[in-house]
């Protein structure tokens, strides 16, 4: 597999950077800054590292809860959450936003969120890359109040997955480790009450983009290894040293989700494709795809019935919504009202989420 060209997103959109640009990777307060990495011929720049944005190298110590109501009181029946990497709020839109209506409400403030997620109870999870914290907002229904947060000592959070973020475990993907001496990404196993107590690592994981936890409490990490090759790693029981999945065909890394049939839906970010697998514990069987996306996107999630899939199209600054089945993924519509392409829209998650 050829080396990835992970230079398309925030660094490019903000500064017109090229793939050869050297960008320092994220650091935590009190630790050494991680230097540039070299993966074969092209240094892959993660789509949305906190270090490409100004004034985010130092974590902000405290956030005060703000819940903004843009159009009406808290929506009762759910909708679509959207994050912008350089935005300060997470937006909530109506389901089936074919008229391209503005957000119903927002939650925040947030700092460099990437792959936002919703748990089975409708709680919103914000992996807050700029503050190195994970924030949980209450559900069901949109734009609930902040329930709590915890710091992530194992790296920069970039994605999350949980069945019950308030009372249960949360699997948090860290794109990179906490320092130059522990640079590889990982999966943190955390709880809202107790913080992060376990760190899952594997040699196949260097830059970790996505994480998914299934109904049985198993975890998968979508990453690039030290050579820039896309990998999928399976952690039985969300513990241990993990096993690299075989039969994983994605060209690039990206977000993960489960459909209602138990299939693993994966985004191959920079070649704009969706692959659907069964198994991957550790042997993968391709059951659908690759299906083309409209544009490049890192993250995507399914709705409750697994009939609709939404991706964060950072190229055009919009959310692209698709009709979904394991046999076909076809574009339905896009919306962008209230979004700003220069803020790098990237995360998209349905409330309620897929029951897979």
- Check residue 28 and give left, alpha or beta (phi > 0: left; psi -120 to 50: alpha): beta
217-259 residue pLDDT tens: 999 999 999 999 999 999 999 999 999 999 999 999 999 999 9
Is residue 45 one of the residues assigned to a domain?
no
Say how far apart CA 176 and CA 27 lie, in whole Å.
Answer: 9
Whether pTM exceeds 0.85: no
Is residue 2 one of the residues assigned to a domain?
no
Q: Within a 10 A sphere around the Cβ of 76, how many other Cβ atoms?
A: 8
Residue 38 pLDDT > 50, yes or no?
no
Question: Is-contact 114 158, C-beta < 8 A?
Answer: yes
pLDDT band at 75 (very low <50, low <70, confident <90, very high): low
Is residue 1 one of the residues assigned to a domain?
no
pLDDT band at 76 (very low <50, low <70, confident <90, very high): low
Range with lowest mean pLDDT among 31-45, 116-130, 176-190, 300-314: 31-45
**Residue 98 domain boundaries:** 66-351
User: Which CATH number characterizes residue 163's domain?
Assistant: 2.120.10.30
- The string of DSSP codes covering 136-199 is EE--SSSSPPEEEEEE-TTS-EEEEE-S-TTTSEEEEEESS-SBTTB-S-EEEEEETTTEEEEE
The label of the residue with tokens 């159009």 reads 71
Is residue 43 one of the residues assigned to a domain?
no
128-157 residue pLDDT tens: 999 999 999 999 999 999 999 999 999 999
Is residue 54 one of the residues assigned to a domain?
no
| SS3 annotation, 8-53 | CCHHHHHHCCCCCCCCCCCCCCCCCCCCCCCCCCCCCCCCCCHHHC
254-282 residue pLDDT tens: 999 999 999 999 999 999 999 999 999 99
316-350 residue pLDDT tens: 999 999 999 999 999 999 999 999 999 999 999 99
Question: Is-contact 320 334, C-beta < 8 A?
Answer: yes
Is residue 41 one of the residues assigned to a domain?
no
Q: Which of 207, 208, 211 is nearest to 220 (CA)?
A: 211
Mean pLDDT of the chain: 83
Is residue 17 one of the residues assigned to a domain?
no
Is residue 165 one of the residues assigned to a domain?
yes
Residue 30 pLDDT > 60, yes or no?
no
What total of structural domains would you count in the chain? 1
Residue 28 pLDDT > 70, yes or no?
no
Say how far apart CA 354 and CA 15 lie, in whole Å.
Answer: 36
pLDDT reported for residue 181 = 83
pLDDT band at 55 (very low <50, low <70, confident <90, very high): very low
Residue 32 pLDDT > 60, yes or no?
no
Residue 66 pLDDT > 70, yes or no?
no
Q: Within a 10 A sphere around the Cβ of 91, how many other Cβ atoms?
A: 28
**Mean predicted confidence (pLDDT) in 190-216:** 97
């Amino acid at each position: 597999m050829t080396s990835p060209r992970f230079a398309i997103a925030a660094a490019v959109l903000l500064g017109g950077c090229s793939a050869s640009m050297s960008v320092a990777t994220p650091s935590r307060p009190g630790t050494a800054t991680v230097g540039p990495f070299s993966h074969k011929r092209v240094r892959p720049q993660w789509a949305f590292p906190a270090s490409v944005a100004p004034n985010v190298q130092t974590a902000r110590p405290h956030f005060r809860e703000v819940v903004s109501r843009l159009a009406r009181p808290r929506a009762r029946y759910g909708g679509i959450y959207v994050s912008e990497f350089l935005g300060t709020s997470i937006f909530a839109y109506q389901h089936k936003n074919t008229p391209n209506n503005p957000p119903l409400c927002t939650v925040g403030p947030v700092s460099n969120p990437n792959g936002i997620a919703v748990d089975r109870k409708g709680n919103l999870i914000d992996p807050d890359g700029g503050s190195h914290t994970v924030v949980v907002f209450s559900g069901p229904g949109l734009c609930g109040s902040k329930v709590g947060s915890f710091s992530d000592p194992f790296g920069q959070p970039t994605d999350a997955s949980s069945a019950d973020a308030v009372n249960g475990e949360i699997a948090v993907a860290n794109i990179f480790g906490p320092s130059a001496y522990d640079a590889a990404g990982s999966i943190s196993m955390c709880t809202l009450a107790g913080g992060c107590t376990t760190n899952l690592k594997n040699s196949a994981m260097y830059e970790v983009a996505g994480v998914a936890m299934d109904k049985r409490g198993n975890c998968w990490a979508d990453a690039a290894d030290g050579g820039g090759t896309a990998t999928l790693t399976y952690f039985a029981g969300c513990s241990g040293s993990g096993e690299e999945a075989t039969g994983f065909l994605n060209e690039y890394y990206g977000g993960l989700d489960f459909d209602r049939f138990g299939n693993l839906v994966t985004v191959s970010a920079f070649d704009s494709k969706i692959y659907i697998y069964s198994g991957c514990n550790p042997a993968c069987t391709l059951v659908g795809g690759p299906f083309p996306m409209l544009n490049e996107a890192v993250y995507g999630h399914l709705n409750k019935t697994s009939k609709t899939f939404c991706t964060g199209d950072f190229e055009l600054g919009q959310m692209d919504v698709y009709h979904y089945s394991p046999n076909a993924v076809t574009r339905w519509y896009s919306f962008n009202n209230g979004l700003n392409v220069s803020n790098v829209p990237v995360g998209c998650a349905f409330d309620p989420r897929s029951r897979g």
